[in-house]
Amino acid sequence: MKTIKFLMILSFTVGLGNQSFSQTSTVGTIKQNELKQNENMKTPKETVELFLANTTNPDVIKSVVDPNATYISLNFNNPELQKVLPWTGTHHEGAKAFIDTFAGVNEFWTIQDFAVQDIFSEGEKVAVFGTFTYTSRTLNKKVTSPFSILAKVKDGKIYHFMFMEDTFATAGTFRITPAGTFHSDPKGKEFKS
């Protein structure tokens, strides 16, 4: 493995008018592959953008997701929703959770649109906001939902990813019978959906 030495030229003026002398010293070394890695390092925002542009490409996903990454899909733990959308909940399987989630989405729905409207970053954190339009493959029901993402990236790898959407609407694309009877307003009456 090659090591590159960095040299710093220090110039200073000694009290002889305008004449200057140069002193050369070694201030540090870095391994060549570390230098190349740093040159290719993406910002957290660029890393998330690369992931979002390649959600069906396992090789890209594996290259930008930390092996111990946490993926929170729609909720922390909801067994009822998991019956409808099996990938939901909190997962600690690194790239596998990302791959399984997006494979499931593509298997359950036809994706007409997935559009990022805004993306912001501050330090390791990246926030993404947008909309998508899906049609369920089983019932041919279409839904448009907002989505939001909170991702955390360190050293070019996503280590935390939380994806949120309108799950009442998206799960509703698989609903055959009415959702049920609700009573949400304390001053109101129950109603059927």
| Closest to 160 measured CA to CA, from 74, 97, 71, 54 | 71
pLDDT score at 25: 37
Task: Please report, for residues 1, 178, 182, the alpha-carbon distance to residue 192 in angstroms, rounded to integers and kept in the order given.
Answer: 69, 7, 6
Residues 6+ apart with CB under 8 A from 95: 58, 61, 62, 65, 67, 69
Name the DSSP letter for residue 177.
S
So what's the pLDDT on residue 40? 67
| 18-62 tens-digit pLDDT | 444 333 333 444 444 443 444 468 999 999 999 999 999 999 999
Of the chain, the percentage scoring pLDDT greater than 70 comes to 79
User: What are the structure tokens assigned to 7, written together?
Assistant: 């040299």
Position 15 pLDDT exceeds 50: no
Q: Are 72 and 90 in contact (CB under 8 A)?
A: yes
Average of per-residue pLDDT across 180-188: 88
Is the confidence at residue 101, as pLDDT, over 80?
yes
At residue 179, the pLDDT reads: 83
Asked if the model's pLDDT at residue 129 lies above 70, the reply is yes
What is the average per-residue pLDDT within 3-20? 38
Residue type at position 110: T
pLDDT in tens, 112-126: 999 999 999 999 999
Give pTM, 2 decimals: 0.76
Mean pLDDT score across all residues of the chain: 84
Backbone phi and psi for residue 151, each to the nearest 5 degrees, phi listed first? -120, 150
